[in-house]
Amino acid sequence: MLTQQEFQWARKKTLDTLRRLSVTVTAQEAEQIEVADFGLGQLEIFGLQLLVYVNTERVCAKELVLFPGQICPEHYHPAVSGELGKEETFRCRAGEVYLYVPGDPTPVSKATIPMGCEKYLTARHEVLLRAGEQYTIYPETHHWFQAGAAGAVVSEFSTRSRDEYDVFTDPRVIRQPQIAYS
């Protein structure tokens, strides 16, 4: 669970990051920036900041901001109500992203996997994305990703996003952010 202080700090840092990249963010959008710690209580290790521009019945566009070394835990997008799971294209805008998908394991990967989490990060084929590079992830494909040392900003273009249905390899993950108001 995030504290109110962590949430506000991460939201401000996300907004500052986007503005440094000349991404215009309206006041309303700034208030909608989501900070996800995945219920693991280690935002600096497992975390993701999101700004959703549009999410309709057919399409979704959002910015994903990762602070240095942050990991979005392994998950996949299942079929929901007879519709295929989400198909998404990640386009790296700044920094580096180490994306892991099924396939031949990369012998020497760039990721730093936290001790004790190896069993929850099973996809080991590395796709390195630098600014201007992109990769498409198809429905029901296990994947996880980590920002490089400078952090990363990734634009996501996808079919309809239903994050609440994502299936995570780590059973401790809670997708919907919870903030402690004290």
pLDDT of residue 1: 80
Confidence (pTM): 0.95
Structural domain contains residue 58: yes
Q: How far apart are CA 91 and CA 78, in angstroms?
A: 22
Structural domain contains residue 46: no
Name the β-bridge partners of 37.
Answer: none
Instruction: Give tens-digit pLDDT for 61-79.
Output: 999 999 999 999 999 999 9
Q: How many domains does the chain have?
A: 1
Return the CATH number at 153: 2.60.120.10
Provide the pLDDT confidence category of residue 87 given band limits of 50, 70 and 90: very high
CA 28 to chain centre: 21
**Helix (H/G/I), strand (E/B), else coil: 1:** coil
CB atoms within 10 A of CB 129: 21
Structural domain contains residue 43: no
DSSP 8-state assignment for residue 46: B
What range defines the domain where residue 73 resides? 51-170
Structural domain contains residue 24: no
Token digits of residue 16: 């500052």
Structural domain contains residue 152: yes
pLDDT of residue 177: 74
Q: How many CA atoms lie within 13 A of 127 on its CB side?
A: 19
Structural domain contains residue 104: yes
pLDDT of residue 182: 63
Structural domain contains residue 23: no
Instruction: Give tens-digit pLDDT for 106-121.
Output: 999 999 999 999 999 9
User: How much is the average pLDDT of 144-169?
Assistant: 97
Name the β-bridge partners of 127.
Answer: 99
Structural domain contains residue 1: no
Give every CB contact of residue 123 below 8 A, 6+ residues apart in sequence: 74, 100, 101, 102, 103, 142, 143, 144
CA 12 to chain centre: 17
Strands 34-36 and 48-55: antiparallel
Provide the pLDDT confidence category of residue 176 given band limits of 50, 70 and 90: confident
Name the β-bridge partners of 168.
Answer: 75
